[in-house]
Structure 1
Amino acid sequence: MLSVSKEFTFEAAHMLSEHEGECKNLHGHSYKLIVEATGDIQNGMIIDFKDLKNIVKETIIDKIDHSFIYYNSSKDDVEHKIAEVLKGSGKKIFEVNYRPTAENMAMHFYNILNDNLKDKGLKVVSITLYETQKSFAKVVG
């Protein structure tokens, strides 16, 4: 199988409600997202890297970069208050219905991109989401 990959970076803050460690506190990450896709080769390419870049930026990066990732079912009242203040101030939030762990975010991105790439006859092979330089979650399709 032949595939193509493209890397993206974004900055975001979150907090993990009910976490026993330091990640229960509001904190941020410099994320790195690696998208790997496959499909039939046409004119020598699976997909133009520019087209892949545009799809990922439009569906994920532009929405999440420099945002507060807000878990809308959090059991932490502080998280809801932070989101309320940010929304009321016109600040950027990325609202999700899951705990914003690297694992859950990687799966979410995998699903979003598979839905958007299938129209082009492509399939996501894997999504790798680095939360730090040495820690990442990977979804393999």
Structure 2
Amino acid sequence: MYEVRVETDFAAAHFLSHYHGKCERLHGHNYRVRLWARGSELDTGGMLIDFGVLKGLLREVCGRLDHQNLNEFSVFSGDPSAERIAKYIFDEMLTLLSHGGYNAKLLYAVDVYETPTNMARYVRD
């Protein structure tokens, strides 16, 4: 099995509506996002999928979130947790890969780091 990973980052603000503690107040993070693709077969060029394709699409998706208040995105239902952000990025990447003619089944996981030591992951089931 082959795995490849690309990463990018974005900065955004959020608060958690259903959390009681300091995260219920508006605050920001410099998010780090890692996207993983996995598969058992390489293309004729010896690659699972082009790093440039993955990174470009990931930057496009994360660019939509950059310097935004994530609570304004209805997809997060008022609680833009790292878990929900990871799922959103995963779903958006599936769509972009499919529409771009790439094998979306290669998309395996998205990691969203709120800090260097706190991360949530969404994995294809």
TM tier, shorter chain? 0.7 to 0.9
Q: In structure 1, what is the equivalent of residue 103 of structure 2?
A: 121
SS at match of 1:97: helix
Distance 2:95 2:75 in 1: 18
Corresponding residue pairs, total = 117
Q: Distance in 1 between matches of 2:58 and 2:7?
A: 10
- The 5 Å alignment of 1:28-107 reads 28-39=28-39, 40-42=41-43, 43-58=45-60, 60-71=61-72, 95-98=73-76, 99-107=79-87
Aligned partner of 1:16 in structure 2 is 16
Larger radius of gyration: 1
Task: Quote the RMSD (CA, aligned, Å).
Answer: 1.5
Distance 1:3 1:51 in 2: 15
CA shift digits 1:100-129 (9 cap, x unpaired): 000111111111112222430142111111
Q: Distance in 1 between matches of 2:74 and 2:8?
A: 20
Correspondence for 1:74: none
Unaligned residue ranges in structure 1 (runs of 5+): 72-94
Give the aligned residue type for 2:7: E
Look up the equivalent residue of 1:63 and give its one-letter code.
R
Moved >6 Å (runs of 4+): none
